[in-house]
Amino acid sequence: MESSKVIHAIYTDDDVLMSAVKKVKAAKHHIEEIYTPFPVHGLDKAMGLAPTRLAITAFMYGCLGLIVSIVMMNYIMIEDWPQNIGGKPSFSYLENMPAFVPIMFELTVFFSAHLMVITFYLRSRMWPFKKAENPDPRTTDDHFLMEVSVHGDEKELETFLAGTGAVEINIVDKEAH
């Protein structure tokens, strides 16, 4: 396994972190990852991360749920055993549709919500018994950590990061995954 070096620059304020991110981006250093205790508004934009496509998947899952509900009730109530239940017209799906709408709605929401959450878990690799990937426990409380990969001059990068307002800078040998 090849090991590479990264710098962990630790900040104690999200505003300082934001301006540091902009400076690091401007200096064309590659930010590997940023660890924060809470969502920092605008951080993804400053880092230049691509927007999420989770909402698009949710829409597609919703469509799937709608189709499942329609096919299911059309088969059960109209095709398989079109019984007369309290005079409801089970001659065609359309004629009896108002009675199915609550189920159509709920299954759309159910599929959309649950499958989107599962997609989120898969995509961000979260599951029970997963080993936490946290370089410094303080980042879950009140510290912000920027991980910058080292290419070339280590010392220069270190002084550059110290200039951006980092309170602590550590050079870490990181095992490649």
Partner 1 sequence: MYTISNRLKIVSLILMIVGGAFWGTSYVSSHVTVEDVKVMLAEEEASHGGGHEAEATNHAPADTHGEATADHGDEHAEHVMHQIHNRPYSALYVAAFFFFMIALGVLAFYGIQYASQAGWSPVLFRVMEGITYYVLPGGLIVLAIAFWAGDHIFIWMDPEVVAHDELIQGKADWLNKPWFFIRGLIFLGGWSLYRYFSRKFSIAQDSADDNRNFKKNFRISAAFLVFYIYTESMMSWDWIMSVDPHWFSTLFGWYVFASMFVSGITVIALVTMYLKSKGLMDFVNDSHMHDLAKFMFAISIFWTYLWFSQFMLIWYANIPEEVTYFVTRIEDYKLPFFGMLALNFIFPFLVLMNSDYKRINWFIVMAGIAILVGHYVDVYNMIMPATVGDRWGFGLAEFGAIFFFLGLFMLVVFYAISKQPLLAKGNPFVKESEQFHY
Whole-number minimum distance, CB 102 to partner 1, in Å?
Answer: 8
Q: Which helix (H) or strand (E) holds 102?
A: helix 97-123
Nearest to 23 by CA among 167, 172, 163: 163
Whole-number minimum distance, CB 121 to partner 1, in Å?
Answer: 23
Is beta strand 168-175 parallel, antiparallel or unpaired with respect to 144-149?
A: unpaired
Asked if 150 and 4 touch (Cβ cutoff 8 Å), the reply is yes
Task: Using the rule CB under 8 A, give the single segment among 17-25, 94-102, 117-125, 129-137 that binds partner 1.
Answer: 94-102
> Of residues 50-79, which lie at the interface with partner 1 (CB under 8 A)?
55, 59
Identify the residue among 99, 113, 169, 172 touching partner 1 (CB under 8 A).
Answer: 99
Asked if residue 167 binds partner 1 (CB under 8 A), the reply is: no
Q: Which helix (H) or strand (E) holds 34?
A: strand 31-35
Nearest to 24 by CA among 137, 175, 150, 138: 150
Whole-number minimum distance, CB 99 to partner 1, in Å?
Answer: 7
Q: Does residue 152 come out as left (phi exceeding 0), alpha (psi in the -120 to 50 range) or beta?
A: left
Site string for partner 1, 14-53 (x = CB under 8 A): ----------------------------------------
Nearest to 136 by CA among 5, 12, 4: 12
> Of residues 100-139, which lie at the interface with partner 1 (CB under 8 A)?
101
Identify the residue among 39, 48, 87, 152 touching partner 1 (CB under 8 A).
Answer: 87
Q: Which residues sit at the interface with partner 1, rule CB under 8 A?
A: 55, 59, 87, 98-99, 101
